[in-house]
């Protein structure tokens, strides 16, 4: 490890902390439905959408209606995208003449982008036409991200409101988030990327003559616009197969930093928005503190392992850090930081190949996803996932002091605890069962490139990434098969919506409750003790469930590595 590497890591966190309040304040304005400076230009567009769809943005919905509209909206988008991908070969905007996708790959991809996972069982530049990239995938990047933030707003209202049944209007939330947050931010980010050398064109291929005199075809397309929302919406699906390791997606160290900041900035801001919504911004800072502690712990382990390198190579006289699978223009520190950022935020973009990390260096991105998407989390999904753990934490605190648990003025009763446990249990149930099934069946065992514990890690990582709606991969797994495309599609859908519905039920129940003023007997939820309890609950409940799987995979892989054993 170097001082330059740590300067990058700590500087990255410092920039995000400086942006937390201004971004959170903008999000709070959207949460409340207040006017912003952009309403002067985009207000007529917003009203036009409502008029066209016959929606009254002031008519709020209870949690069941909010959930139903959200599910119908996403199901319709899923069907639309599936049709676009299947019909790609006969649709325009296809300069390379690419054929339509197979049924199982179209199914997997449509679910992947609907659920904000953006898992890719294909090489983007050799599989997707420009029209499919823009109409089928980029649209989802906006709308799946907007859905996640809207759901976070719904849960905030549950905590903030008193004795009401409504938690907002799904259509109004999604429209405002898209128009006043994601769209303008992406325009700025896209212009920056274009200025940095990222292509933005409808051309398909440019033929050039290399310095050696050979002919080469260079694939192009509307890359910058997809790259911007890919990061800001914590989507992660790359235009190219190499994702953010490709120089057309991520050409310089500066674009690399901006992309990492883009992944985290909305997640950081939402913690402040939550605190403001419940009337005490210290509540938001406490949650953010717990998130940052978990994040920095993960970065430290990953950076240390990658900087230490592989002892097998050291014995052969190659004394250096682990540069396998990493871009020279980024190096070990920026690659390790990016890997933890993208998995802490359920983004899935990569600027290095996680399959080539050391065993414990690769374990941290895997573990980040297994912590129920709460280290920072996806846009919206991170904060509402963390609040589910907060409900469990105050329940444990209540057991210790012998009082009915309370959080931000609301009594946490058996209904909320049961629903929180139900939502949190989705991850281990789906991840472990599907990993076990694929580790036993012939179709599943045909996927891993490697044998032994690393091959098991490839399978475990795939289902963890799918259920956690992350989308990154241990790229050694061959996933474009009916078996993996089908099971991973089911895993992605369950990981997204089987958690959301119980969460919205919690929001509806909390909104109907009276506010309980804090008393001398209330457990404080803003200080260091609360932050420590949150971190402990996340690690114990969210992490220890997966310890046996980690022992069979990356931990066994590490022990084999230090003994010099290879597979």
pLDDT digits (tens, 9 = 90+) for 359-408: 999 999 999 999 877 788 888 888 999 999 999 999 988 887 767 788 99
Whether residue 156 is contained in a domain is answered as yes
Whether residue 92 is contained in a domain is answered as yes
Confidence label for 314 from pLDDT (cuts 50, 70 and 90): confident
Domain encompassing residue 181:
29-251
pLDDT, tens only, 403-448: 778 899 889 999 999 999 999 999 999 999 999 999 999 999 999 9
Q: What is the pLDDT of residue 523?
A: 81
Q: What is the mean pLDDT of residues 535-562?
A: 89
Whether residue 98 is contained in a domain is answered as yes
Domains: count for the chain: 1
The pLDDT mean for the chain works out to: 91
Tell whether the model's pLDDT for residue 289 goes beyond 90: yes
Whether residue 265 is contained in a domain is answered as no
What is the spatial distance between Cα 341 and Cα 377, in angstroms, rounded to a whole number? Answer: 10
Whether residue 121 is contained in a domain is answered as yes
Q: How far is CA 216 from the centre of its chain?
A: 35
Whether residue 205 is contained in a domain is answered as yes
Q: What percent of the chain has pLDDT over 90?
A: 72
Q: Which residues pair with 215 in a beta bridge?
A: 209
Query: DSSP states of 311-326 as a string?
Result: HHHHHTT--S---TTB
Q: What is the pLDDT of residue 114?
A: 94
Q: Which two tokens stand for residue 546?
A: 């997966």
Query: DSSP states of 305-363 as a string?
Result: HHHH--HHHHHTT--S---TTB-TTTHHHHHHHHHHHHHHTT----SB-GGGS-HHHHH
Whether residue 460 is contained in a domain is answered as no
pLDDT, tens only, 53-97: 999 999 999 999 999 999 999 999 999 999 999 999 999 988 888
Q: What is the pLDDT of residue 126?
A: 82
Q: What is the pLDDT of residue 273?
A: 97
Q: What is the pLDDT of residue 361?
A: 94
Q: What is the pLDDT of residue 349?
A: 92
Q: What is the mean pLDDT of residues 329-334?
A: 93
Q: Which residues pair with 406 in a beta bridge?
A: 411
φ, ψ (nearest 5 deg) of residue 218 = -105, 120
Query: DSSP states of 398-463 as a string?
Result: HHHHTS--EETTEE--HHHHHHHHHHHHHHHHHHHHHHHHHHHSHHHHTS-SS-HHHHHHHHHHHH
What is the spatial distance between Cα 171 and Cα 147, in angstroms, rounded to a whole number? Answer: 9
Is the model more confident about 252 or about 320? 252
Confidence label for 205 from pLDDT (cuts 50, 70 and 90): confident
Q: What is the pLDDT of residue 517?
A: 78
Confidence label for 466 from pLDDT (cuts 50, 70 and 90): very high
Give the ranges where 478-527 is alpha helix by DSSP (H).
482-511
Q: Determine which helix (DSSP H) or strand (DSSP E) holds 53, and give its type and residue range.
A: helix 39-53
Q: What is the pLDDT of residue 358?
A: 92
Helix (H, G, I), strand (E, B) or coil at 214: coil
Q: What is the pLDDT of residue 550?
A: 93
Q: Which residues pair with 209 in a beta bridge?
A: 215
Q: What percent of the chain has pLDDT over 70?
A: 99
Whether residue 257 is contained in a domain is answered as no
Q: Which residues contact 83 (CB under 8 A, 6 or more apart)?
A: none
Q: What is the mean pLDDT of residues 327-341?
A: 94
Q: Which two tokens stand for residue 186?
A: 């992406």
């Amino acid at each position: 490890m170097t001082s330059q590497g740590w300067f990058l890591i700590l500087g990255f966190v410092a920039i995000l902390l400086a942006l937390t309040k201004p971004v959170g304040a903008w999000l709070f304005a959207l949460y409340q439905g207040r006017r912003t400076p952009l309403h002067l230009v985009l207000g007529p567009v917003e009203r036009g959408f409502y008029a066209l769809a016959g929606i009254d943005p002031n008519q709020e919905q209870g949690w069941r209606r909010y959930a139903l509209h959200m599910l119908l909206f996403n199901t319709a988008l899923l069907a639309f995208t599936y049709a676009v991908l299947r019909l790609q070969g006969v649709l325009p905007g296809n300069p390379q003449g690419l054929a339509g996708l197979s049924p199982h790959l179209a199914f997997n991809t449509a679910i992947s982008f609907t659920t904000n996972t953006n898992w890719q069982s294909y090489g983007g530049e050799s599989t997707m036409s420009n029209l499919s990239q823009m109409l089928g995938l980029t649209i989802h990047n906006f709308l799946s991200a907007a859905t996640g933030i809207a759901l976070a707003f719904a849960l905030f209202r549950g905590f903030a409101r008193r004795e009401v049944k409504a938690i907002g209007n799904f259509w109004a939330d999604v429209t405002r988030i898209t128009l006043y947050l994601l769209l303008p931010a992406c325009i700025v980010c896209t212009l920056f990327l274009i200025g940095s050398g990222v292509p933005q064109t409808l051309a398909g291929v440019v033929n050039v003559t290399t310095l050696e005199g050979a002919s080469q075809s260079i694939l192009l397309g509307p890359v910058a616009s997809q790259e911007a929302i890919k990061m800001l919406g914590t989507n992660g699906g790359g235009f190219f197969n190499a994702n953010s390791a490709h120089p057309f997606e991520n050409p310089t160290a500066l674009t690399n930093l901006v992309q990492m900041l883009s992944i985290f900035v909305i997640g950081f801001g939402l913690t402040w928005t939550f605190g403001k919504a419940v009337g005490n911004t210290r509540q938001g800072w406490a949650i953010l503190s717990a998130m940052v502690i978990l994040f920095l712990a993960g970065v430290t382990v990953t950076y240390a392992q990658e900087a230490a390198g592989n002892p097998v190579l050291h014995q052969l006289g190659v004394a250096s850090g682990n540069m396998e699978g990493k871009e020279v223009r980024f190096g070990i520190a920026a690659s390790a930081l990016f890997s933890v950022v993208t998995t802490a935020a359920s983004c899935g973009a990569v600027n290095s190949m996680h399959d080539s990390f050391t065993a414990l260096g690769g374990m941290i991105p895997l573990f980040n996803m297994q912590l129920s998407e709460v280290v920072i989390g996806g846009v919206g999904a991170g904060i509402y996932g963390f609040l589910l753990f907060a409900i469990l934490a105050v329940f444990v605190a209540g057991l210790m002091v012998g009082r009915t648990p309370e959080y931000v003025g609301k009594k946490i009763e058996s209904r909320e605890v049961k629903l929180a446990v139900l939502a949190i249990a989705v991850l281990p149930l789906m991840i472990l069962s599907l990993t076990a099934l694929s580790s036993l069946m012939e179709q599943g065992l045909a996927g891993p490139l490697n044998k032994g514990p690393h091959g098991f890690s490839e399978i475990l990582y795939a289902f963890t990434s799918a259920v956690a709606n992350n989308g990154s991969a241990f790229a050694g797994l061959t996933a474009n098969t009916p078996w993996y495309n089908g099971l991973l599609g089911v895993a992605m859908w369950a990981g997204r919506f089987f958690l959301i519905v119980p969460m919205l039920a919690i929001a509806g129940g909390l909104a109907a409750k009276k506010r309980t003023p804090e008393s001398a007997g209330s457990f404080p939820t803003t200080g260091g003790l609360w932050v420590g309890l949150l971190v402990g609950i996340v690690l114990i409940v969210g992490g220890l469930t997966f310890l046996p799987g980690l022992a069979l995979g990356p931990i066994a892989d590490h022990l084999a590595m230090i003994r010099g054993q290879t597979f």
